[in-house]
Structure 1
Amino acid sequence: MLGTEIDFAKSTDLEQIESLFLEIIESIPYYNDLAKENEIKRYKKVELEFKLAEDPFSIISAKQDGKVIGFCFSRFDDFTIWLEWFGISPNHQRQGIAKLLLEKLDFSAEARKCHKIWCDTRTENKRSSDVLEKNGFSKIVEIKNHWYGQDFFLWQKFISK
């Protein structure tokens, strides 16, 4: 955590962010092949450039010594924020970086005049569930056989103004 810079991503960060996202999604066991294939397409560098141009708060990066070690993707969703993904390089996990990314996301929600952040996790993804709970999210519901035919939890966090 010491020496970690958390900020809204710049276009010069996107190649590293795409690479880290690919590394993370290919290694996680929670998603089926169809889900992985579609998510990888959704977060290619060209898509991230469009995302960033549309909303400068939508991509948050964590860096150490100029190298991207974490990211958080979100989108404005009718005055709520949809937390799409957050991920930390395997060599930098369990160092409080996810907490810093989520705190910056809270700040972005306030700047975007949103009252709530919501997201989903795979039901088997205990690590992400633990991170969300520790950072003020509460589980709303379990949805069986949903996106890509898999089970998910929906989460929410209200932002105090």
Structure 2
Amino acid sequence: MTAITLIQGDITQQSVDAVVNAANSSLLGGGGVDGAIHRKGGPAILDECRDLRASKYGKGLPTGQAVATTAGNLDARWVIHTVGPRFLTGEDRSELLASCYRESLRVADELGARTVAFPAVSAGIYGWPMEDAARVAVETVRATSTAVEEVRFVLFDEQAYETFARQLR
């Protein structure tokens, strides 16, 4: 049984086996969580991302998929990069969002990670409403069979934390 915990804070400060990055498909850094992880993790993460782009992901990492790199200077062994979908009014893309969590947990299992820190994937600049992002995240993690012992949702502000807390109740 996977324990789900919530933390209000900075995902780059977490001491876990794997930190999940809400990446963009280029894998080359960006804003929000992605930029913070690349800045704090240092150049080793970007170097491995460039290698992935040069080999397996020439057109970028597809939405809903996940891939791992070193965690560089983070207090983790790996960063699992996943590309969340942009929220589009009138189009249900929640299966793509759920896939981000399932695929990240699959990669974590392949790596042997037992503790994984997730941000609220797609709930930042990709515009996913926090209430629905939290629902998809919590339901998907609960429904996914994994050897991960702790999934930690690391929420940047009090509002996001409270929204996830409601979903856990």
Q: TM-score range by the shorter chain?
A: 0.3 to 0.5
Q: Which has the higher contact order (CA 8 A, sep 6+)?
A: 2
* Larger proportion of strand: 1
- TM-score when scaled to structure 2? 0.39
